[in-house]
Structure formats: C-alpha cells, structure tokens
Amino acid sequence: MKKIKQWLIGITITLLLFSGCKSESTKSVKEKDVSDFTFMSIGSFSVEQIEDNWTEVRDGAGRTLVLIPHGTKAPDGYEPYQVVHIPVKRIVAYGSFDTAVLKVLGVIEDVLVGVTTKMEDWTIPEVISGMKQGKIAYLGDYNTIDFERLKAQEPEVVLTWDPSIIPMLNEMGVACVITSTPVAMCLTARMRFVSFLAPFFNREKEAKAYFTRVSQSLEQIRKKTLNAGPKPKVMWGDIYEKRVLVEPGNAWVGELVGLAQSDYMFNDVYGRSCIEISLERFLYSGEESDILFTYRTPKTGATSKMALAKINPMLAGVKPLKDGKVYSPLTNYSQSGDKLDEILTDIAAILHPECYPEHRLQYFTELPEKDPKRIM
C-alpha cells in the first residue's frame, strides 16, 4: 500500500507540471479529500484502491466496477456484472488505442481474444500474428458484432465505446468497460489512461514507466519549442459530405499545439473528439490557418492537396491547400498509442521543423500539391 501511495503522489506532482486539462465531466467526478492518495482521477475515469485486494474503478460512462483477485469473494453491494476478477485473462477490445494500451502493459499476446478490425487493416504485429494463429477473432464491424462468435471467445471483459451492448454483455455475464468519454481526452488524460487499465492486469509498474516516458518527451518538446519562430496557425479536421468534423480545443491535440508554441484555430470549441461544427466556422478558420491536419489517410483519398479538393471543393478555399501545408495520418497512427511520445514529437516537428532539422516523420505525411503522374 505504501508503494502505491508513493506512486500516486508522484503522478500527482507530475500532473502539476503538465496541467491544463479541463474537467471532462464535473457532474460525474466524485469529490474526494485531496489528501486521499488512494483515489486517482483520470479525466472522466477513476481508480480507487479500497483495500489491498479490492479496487473500485469508474469507466468513461460513469459506471462503477470492482476489481478483485481470482478466487476472492466479491464485496457486498455490487451486481455480478460489476465484478471483474483480476488479473483479467481474456479480453475483447473495440478500439485500436485500447489495443495499443494492452501492448504498453505487456499483456496483448496473453489476453487479447477479439477485435472489430479486419486483419488486413492492422499494423500491430501481435494482433496480426494472433489473428493468423486463430487466437484473436474478428468479431465483425462495431455496429454488426457477431455475439455468438464473441461468446465463443469467452472474454472476461470487453473494452468498447458502444454502451448499447451493455445489456447483451450483462446477460452473457461479461463485464463491459466503456473507454470513451462524453468529451475528448485532454493531454494528461490521454497520457494517463494506461493507469486506468493497469489494475485490470496488475501492471501498475508498466503504466508508471509509460507515463514517465511520455512526460519526458513532452518536457523536451516544451523546451525545444520555447523560443521557436513565428507561431503557425493550425487546424485539425475535415469537411465531409454532410458534416464538418474537427478536434476541439480541449482535445489532447489542441492542447499539444498550444504547448508547442502554436495557435490552434478551434481552441474555443469544446466537446467530444471529432465534434461537428458549422461549415462557415471551418472555412473562416481556414482563411488564416497555415497547417491543416486532415482525418483522411492516403488510403481514404488524402494523396495530395488536389485530391482533397476534388473530394470536397469547399476545402480548396482554405489557406493550407492554397499556400500552406496539409498533413495526413499514416495507417499506423491510430494504432500506435503505445508510442504516444513519438507521435507527440512528430506533431511538434511538423509545427516547428526548424527545431527538429534531422527529424523524419513516422506517423504523418505531408501532402504534395498534385498526385504524381502514373507511367503507363
């Protein structure tokens, strides 16, 4: 217990260095005495060690679960579907970020038995290998889950952003953990989410090492860009057929842009990740922006500025497509949460290339003006 308290005190101190995270849900956060270091708030998530062998957690939907060792009787006051026996041995993960966190904790090869992404769309070697061996099953797209197949995989826990499956999982006797939140994760919550999942596997040591590594990377970015040149104006989002989606200012990417001595054009927008805004607002911000991060990947049409403009002519009018820069995430970007320190550095190098003269991008690519001509 003493070691746990020392770790939580250390995390609390580090949080002060990287503050700026707005409360993600003031209504759902429990009020605790600040001297009670057995309680850890991670945005909308929380972890509280009640006894040495009893931990209570709150997921992204504000649902309470209790973690107890295998063979231990559950405390009174909890429904069966709230009880999770640890360490968890079999797990299904909807999201690629959750899957990457399993890799951080060093348990991905041992516990992952089901995913909602086809094998050809994965870049995580452990997942590809597990699917080839038949250990990890493709359960269907997130909105067409094959629950019979899910049941056959015998998961103890399902990590998902979809609360609609909770009743079905309750009937199956499978614990459900909602890993999305009503508003986007800020930078500190994104960094510390690993500490929420760590108790499910008794891997707090690995979570601490990850948080320390990313924190050190963030501090290096802060120092390198402290006296950088002019602040670039940055926007992150895209125009689709019926919707305009952007990352809000409270999201970790918006916060990072500000930390790296740059101006985020949607800093006043607050809400969930990929939040919808008006077309007029997007175009207005685009008149002054220098850099656009598009959601589209090269596989989904982001092969050049001209290609983006063809997909949606409205985009042709924003400054980054005319005389600025546009960056597209590579396939490995969304599945590399275990390398968040490298992703943060990639973004910082895009914002201030003068501070990173030798850096080579690993998770983004700058779009050329036109697609190269094919040789017939």
pLDDT (average), residues 155-180: 95
Categorize the per-residue pLDDT at 26 as very low, low, confident or very high, splitting at 50, 70 and 90: very low
pLDDT (average), residues 31-38: 45
Single-letter amino acid, residue 40: M
Give the C-alpha separation, 77 to 136, whole Å. 34
Beta strand segments in the chain, E: 39-42, 45-51, 54-58, 64-69, 83-86, 91-93, 112-115, 137-138, 157-160, 175-178, 233-239, 244-246, 263-264, 275-276, 291-293, 325-329, 364-366
Residues 6+ apart with CB under 8 A from 275: 184, 245, 246, 247, 248, 269
Nearest to 292 by CA among 262, 269, 334, 337: 262
CA dist 228 → 254, 258, 262, 275, 348 (Å): 18, 13, 9, 30, 11
What's the CA dihedral at 224, 332, 42, 208 to 10 degrees?
-70
Give the C-alpha separation, 224 to 348, whole Å. 9
Categorize the per-residue pLDDT at 30 as very low, low, confident or very high, splitting at 50, 70 and 90: very low
Give the C-alpha separation, 50 to 45, whole Å. 16
Give the C-alpha separation, 303 to 296, whole Å. 9
> What's the pLDDT tens digit per position in 303-324?
999 999 999 999 999 999 999 9
For β-strands 244-246 and 233-239, DSSP reports them as: antiparallel
Give the C-alpha separation, 68 to 73, whole Å. 8
pLDDT (average), residues 222-240: 95
Categorize the per-residue pLDDT at 143 as very low, low, confident or very high, splitting at 50, 70 and 90: confident
pLDDT (average), residues 65-80: 93
Give the C-alpha separation, 18 to 187, whole Å. 8
DSSP-assigned beta bridge partners for residue 51: 54
Select the more confidently predicted residue: 284 or 25. Answer: 284
The number of residues making up the chain comes to 376
pLDDT (average), residues 82-98: 97
pTM: 0.87
Give the C-alpha separation, 7 to 2, whole Å. 9
Q: Is the pLDDT confidence value at 33 over 50?
A: no
pLDDT (average), residues 24-44: 54
Categorize the per-residue pLDDT at 285 as very low, low, confident or very high, splitting at 50, 70 and 90: very high
Single-letter amino acid, residue 267: N
Give the C-alpha separation, 254 to 259, whole Å. 9
Nearest to 96 by CA among 108, 85, 110, 106: 108
H or E segment at 102? Answer: helix 96-104
Residue pointed to by tokens 């607002």: 281
Which pLDDT does position 17 carry in this prediction?
A: 36
Categorize the per-residue pLDDT at 374 as very low, low, confident or very high, splitting at 50, 70 and 90: low
Q: Is the pLDDT confidence value at 113 over 90?
A: yes
Nearest to 25 by CA among 63, 56, 60: 60
Categorize the per-residue pLDDT at 53 as very low, low, confident or very high, splitting at 50, 70 and 90: confident
Q: Average per-residue pLDDT in the chain?
A: 89
Domains and CATH numbers, the chain: 2-205 (3.40.50.1980), 226-366 (3.40.50.1980)
Residue 364, phi-psi category: left (phi > 0), alpha (psi -120 to 50), beta (remainder): beta
Which string of DSSP letters, residue by residue, matches 191-207?
Answer: HHHHHHHGGGTT-HHHH
Which pLDDT does position 327 carry in this prediction?
A: 98
Categorize the per-residue pLDDT at 142 as very low, low, confident or very high, splitting at 50, 70 and 90: confident
Q: Is the pLDDT confidence value at 373 over 90?
A: no
Give the C-alpha separation, 305 to 294, whole Å. 11
Q: Is the pLDDT confidence value at 366 over 90?
A: yes
Residue 37: what are its φ and ψ, rounded to 5°?
-85, 5
pLDDT (average), residues 363-371: 96
pLDDT (average), residues 254-272: 96
For β-strands 325-329 and 291-293, DSSP reports them as: parallel
pLDDT (average), residues 256-271: 96
